Structure 1
């Protein structure tokens, strides 16, 4: 067999198709992965609608994958065919100043899976052997696919960027795939109270079931008062904007206490305003942008899931076949059923 089924995006016309393409050969230091599942993320939608760009005229999307090693490239000795793995969604260039310091996750020229090279909405994909994380036997391949972004990015935002501490108060704006997992990770590290904000009542109720202490409609006239009351009048220690538009950024910013932190996780092409420098200085609020995760974060999360410390049983909202990927994209775009994550299944069901 020399060909496989794969989704392809024409980055000029924005047309999506599923067709037969050659199976890629793993290069030196790479492995070929038979994809089990791969998530549909809002950043995938942003590439399709042109909000984000790609360096390629055509690309296979999908950057949240799990699968099985199918072949080894030259020089790969630490992995075997049949190993269950999660590929990280980035490739360092190994030449920049950060890579020369062995800070590969901080690579200045990091190539992103599904943007700069082909991703996981396909029967097979390739990955650097050093970027792989082993899937524990007790972790399903469906949940494993969530770890490389849908859960790892929230983990990175909470643990690495915000450096959240036990007992600190948290607000989360937007409770889709990223925001839902920020709530769960924040609870795991001991944040209290956790306040979830979303426009949809069913989504707010789900956030309470998954670990939030309070759920608030951000458009309610008393939204700011409820946040203040829940934090003893201080305001939030840390706010996470998982939407990344001016309305959520502005509300999150003014909900943070003096000297608190605002972590912007959601991304859009819309501009935000910081106001005058005097007010900004007096507030002493740290505004932190966040992107991605460290590769070792995936292994930490896989271990937490395996030990039963992190429950992702509700995170897979549905699974669609590869040929139905366009329907999965539509359902996420239209928030049909308020999914946390819809997965693409390129082949047969795998567990």
Structure 2
């Protein structure tokens, strides 16, 4: 099968013929229909996440079940499925207590070999998936079957970006109706946070981003105000828009220590700051200690939108079908698998909301 393989930091991604591992009794072979190009994929290529190559890229995908192992009961051949990039064991304390997004065996599952390169070297896959390939072989536990006519490219978004953002608002933070929300970073995930806040009934949603394309996209998806942090102090701007208090909920979707500290500062006393952006393993967060304590602020992290995929993926599909969640408008450009380096470059330059890789014959 053809697959996009990360071979070295800041090196072009290689399109290779990868031989997948033989499926086991609980494995499923999925023919990919579409794969989103998430900023996290870029973080593999530029070395931010420090993951060792070679790795099949892609962790935001949807497709059709091609074959199933002898013990598979969750899906059947022909099912349309969305893949979850959170590899879960189903057996640890967290999985047993409806917290699969912090599964104890998450890292081990993502480090498992997924195939072999032409030279025989083992290759792993981002998120234990590797959706930037014609096929992927995965455990049935990461797949959610959905009955919908939504295009594959829209379903793919639910696998990562949409669930991460919408879930951060609706599940992690539990944004309340009538509240004020600030979102720092309005790419694909940030726009999904904005949509989640709008769905929750937030009264004021403030988009903070230096990119005019993304501020415009934020306004189209529910943001009531926008702030260009290159022109004004975003902390003061958000406070001015919220009666001097700060936002009830503030979301950091950039993945930088300085924007995390900024997000905490623009959160009101007794408000909630939610950190979503992925940072390098060598980075630490520093905040103003006395202001944090005297302000009685809440700081939480949100990974994968605190999702239980079997519960949340169908919910987000329904919201999209009802016109409450815009998926189509999130996709800026479409590419073939052979154009993956162009898609990553456009993502790095901030030229797209979400780049999408579509596979031939996908529906």
* Fold agreement, TM-score > 0.5: yes
Moved more, 93-102 or 228-237: 93-102
- How far, CA to CA, are the matches of 1:88 and 1:221 in structure 2? 38
> Moved runs in structure 1, 4+ residues, more than 6 A?
none
Partner SS, residue 288 of structure 2: coil
Moved more, 220-229 or 146-155: 220-229
Residue 271 (str. 1) matches residue 300 (str. 2): no
- How far, CA to CA, are the matches of 1:67 and 1:248 in structure 2? 36
Partner SS, residue 90 of structure 1: coil
Residue 333 (str. 1) matches residue 348 (str. 2): yes
Q: 1:272 to 1:326 in 2, by over 3 A?
A: same
Counterpart in 1 of 2:226? 215
Residues 24 and 124 in structure 1, CA contact (< 8 A), matched pair in contact too: no
The aligned runs of 1:115-154 (5 Å cut-off) are 115=126, 117-154=128-165
Q: By how many angstroms is 1:100 displaced? A: 4.8
Q: By how many angstroms is 1:311 displaced? A: 1.7
Tell me, which stretches of 5 or more residues in structure 2 are unaligned?
112-124
- How far, CA to CA, are the matches of 1:325 and 1:117 in structure 2? 19
Per-residue CA deviations over 1:286-324 (Å, capped at 9, x if unaligned) read: 111121132122221112112222121211111111111
Q: Which residue of 335, 345, 355 corresponds with 1:342? A: 355
The aligned runs of 1:54-65 (5 Å cut-off) are 54=51, 57-65=53-61
Counterpart in 1 of 2:84? 88
Tell me, which stretches of 5 or more residues in structure 1 are unaligned?
none
Q: TM-score, structure 1 length as denominator?
A: 0.91
Counterpart in 2 of 1:97? 93
Counterpart in 1 of 2:189? 178
Counterpart in 2 of 1:22? 19
Residue 228 (str. 1) matches residue 242 (str. 2): no
Partner SS, residue 186 of structure 2: coil
Q: By how many angstroms is 1:138 displaced? A: 2.6
- How far, CA to CA, are the matches of 1:116 and 1:129 in structure 2? 14
Q: TM-score, structure 2 length as denominator?
A: 0.88
CA RMSD of aligned residues (A): 2.1
Partner SS, residue 314 of structure 1: helix
Q: By how many angstroms is 1:136 displaced? A: 3.1
Counterpart in 2 of 1:284? 296
Per-residue CA deviations over 1:202-234 (Å, capped at 9, x if unaligned) read: 321221121100011123336444422322232
Counterpart in 1 of 2:48? 51
Partner SS, residue 91 of structure 1: coil
